[in-house]
């Protein structure tokens, strides 16, 4: 990415940045010769596949199960140096391949990829120009431009190439597609997230629920008090919760699918969705861009036909269930995978593990034993340096407390650190002695 950064025009920072729009001097670095090894690593795909499987519905057969791989895009013009979308597609395809190997009854056409909303031409919604639109769910989350792609005029409609085949949906279109295929359960996986965050725990569930309903959430009825203590679910009354919720005259906007009572309490006679509040381009605070997080969602519902039913899907609303995947979080395999790449990038050798046969003979080669010995030598030196630095810091802290604590408090703290430092030295000495004994035993029992 650094090598591929365009060189002009340059801005105040002395470099080209995406806000300067299309570059006039771009360095082309072939992606095929500079791949992202983590995106292609099967460990990552395996962990995300397992997290997806963890959210399957045991009451729904694989043949009726679908998986939506939903991701964030990147900033406009970042495609000139950032292959994020290409990397995402590699990971998506690996997950799909693994799911189909492990669950051959899943229909391949029920595993698809999607991205989120973007600004677009607002003419159809009352503004001639580019703005956030209700059609795009009020979102402005970037375009999924492929690396170093260009496709004509610089407009929001086309200044790059978007993913094709089953990978280029907007998430609401993807859900509509799966709904119309009569799937009975949908798992939403966000491959770009490997640890729980507000995105997969709050944002995505609300984005999905406004489309296909919070009562279709697989945990609805039983709740999830582990993830959402005291509440049991992640759902807001409407999405987005940040919008202006009342007019200047104090009347509330209506965020209830089907409309609100025309009783003088609500703005514009309780109409839903609320009317746009500006003749200019809307920002993310305009109430017309908010969606009710309703029982069975907006997809398949036509207000002209009748009021929504909070107790059951009507018209063509989704009738199945859905769930969020489970990220790997603190799975040790993530740490091990990343550590391998960090060590490799730093030019470090892999440290072999000692292995012995049934007779107690060491099974490592001489070169492997030598690598291990060098590793321990460097590690022990660093451990001693770290311990020394830590204890020096403790002493400096004690010194800073001299005028803040009483003599007795200061003495108690000094005694505490004295005991702690003595124990730390003893623990380190014992640990390093154990390492040395292990190496000695390996050398003594080396099997030629």
The count of other CB atoms within 10 Å of the CB of residue 126 is 14
Across 23-27, 67-71, 318-322, 332-336, least confident range: 23-27
Among residues 28, 32, 36, which one has the least CA distance to residue 3? Answer: 28
Residues 197 and 217: their CA atoms lie apart, in Å, by 19
Does position 322 have pLDDT exceeding 60, yes or no?
yes
Phi, psi torsion values for 129, nearest 5 degrees: 155, 180
Q: What do you get for the CA distance between the two ends of the chain, in Å?
A: 48
**Backbone torsion region of residue 57, taken as left when φ is above 0, otherwise alpha when ψ lies between -120 and 50, otherwise beta:** beta
Among residues 242, 274, 240, which one has the least CA distance to residue 257? Answer: 274
If one compares 383 and 365, the residue with the highest pLDDT of the two is 383
If one compares 354 and 66, the residue with the highest pLDDT of the two is 66
Across 157-166, 261-270, 291-300, 376-385, least confident range: 157-166
Q: List, in order, residues 6 or more apart from 188 with CB less than 8 Å away.
A: 68, 70, 204, 208, 322, 323, 324, 325
pLDDT attached to residue 340: 85
pLDDT attached to residue 434: 85
Does position 113 have pLDDT exceeding 70, yes or no?
yes
In the structure, what pLDDT confidence band is assigned to residue 348 with cuts at 50, 70 and 90? low
Q: Tens digits of per-residue pLDDT, 259-306?
A: 999 999 999 999 999 999 999 999 999 999 999 999 999 999 999 999
pLDDT attached to residue 301: 97
Does position 231 have pLDDT exceeding 90, yes or no?
yes
pLDDT over 70 percentage in the chain? 94
Residues 257 and 236: their CA atoms lie apart, in Å, by 14
SS3 for 285-323 is CCHHHCEECCCCCCCCCCCCCCCCCCCCCCCCCCCCEEE
Looking at the whole model, is its pTM more than 0.85? no
SS3 content of the chain, % helix, strand, coil (to 5): 40, 10, 50
Among residues 191, 195, 75, which one has the least CA distance to residue 141? Answer: 75
pLDDT attached to residue 379: 80
- 240: cis peptide before it, omega within 30°? yes
Tell me the sheet residues that pair with 187: 67, 323
Across 22-26, 181-185, 443-447, least confident range: 443-447
- 331: cis peptide before it, omega within 30°? no
Strand extents, DSSP E, 143-222 = 169-170, 185-189
């Amino acid at each position: 990415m650094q090598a591929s950064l365009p060189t002009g025009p340059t801005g105040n920072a002395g470099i080209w940045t995406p806000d300067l729009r299309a570059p006039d001097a771009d360095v082309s670095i072939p992606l095929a010769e500079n791949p992202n090894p983590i995106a292609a690593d099967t460990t990552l795909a395996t962990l995300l596949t397992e997290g997806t499987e963890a959210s399957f519905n045991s009451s729904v057969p694989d043949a009726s199960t679908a998986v939506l791989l939903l991701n964030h895009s990147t900033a406009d013009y970042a495609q000139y140096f950032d292959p994020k979308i290409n990397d995402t597609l590699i990971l998506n395809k690996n997950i799909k391949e693994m799911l189909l190997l492990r669950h051959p009854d899943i229909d391949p056409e029920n595993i698809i990829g999607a991205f989120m909303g973007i600004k677009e031409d607002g003419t159809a919604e009352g503004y001639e120009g580019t703005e956030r639109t209700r059609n795009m769910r009020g979102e402005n989350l970037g375009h999924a431009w492929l690396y170093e792609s260009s496709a004509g005029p610089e407009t929001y409609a086309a200044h790059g190439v978007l993913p094709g085949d089953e990978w280029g949906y907007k998430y609401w279109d993807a859900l509509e597609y799966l709904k119309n295929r009569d799937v009975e359960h949908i798992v939403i996986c966000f491959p770009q997230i490997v640890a729980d965050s507000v995105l997969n725990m709050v944002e995505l569930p609300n984005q999905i629920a406004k489309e296909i309903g919070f009562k279709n959430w697989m945990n609805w009825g039983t709740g999830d008090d582990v993830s959402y203590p005291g509440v049991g679910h992640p759902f807001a009354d409407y999405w987005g919760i940040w919008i202006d919720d009342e007019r200047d005259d104090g009347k509330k906007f209506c965020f209830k699918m089907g409309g609100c009572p025309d009783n003088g309490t609500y703005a514009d006679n309780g109409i839903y969705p609320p009317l746009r509040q500006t003749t200019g381009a809307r920002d993310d605070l305009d109430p017309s861009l908010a969606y009710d997080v309703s029982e069975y969602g907006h997809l398949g519902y036509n207000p002209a036909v009748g009021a929504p039913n909070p107790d059951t899907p009507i018209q063509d609303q989704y009738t199945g269930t859905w769930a969020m995947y489970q990220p790997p979080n603190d799975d040790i395999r993530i740490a091990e995978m990343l550590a391998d790449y960090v060590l490799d990038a730093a030019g470090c050798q892999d440290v072999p593990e000692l292995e012995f046969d049934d007779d107690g003979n060491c099974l490592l080669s001489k070169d492997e034993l030598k690598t291990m010995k060098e590793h321990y030598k460097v590690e022990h030196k660093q451990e001693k340096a770290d311990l020394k630095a830590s204890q020096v810091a403790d002493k400096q802290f004690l010194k800073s407390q001299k005028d803040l604590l009483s003599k007795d408090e200061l003495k108690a703290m000094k005694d505490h650190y004295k005991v702690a430092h003595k124990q730390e030295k003893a623990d380190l000495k014992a640990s390093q002695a154990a390492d040395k004994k292990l190496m000695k035993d390996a050398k003594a029992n080396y099997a030629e």
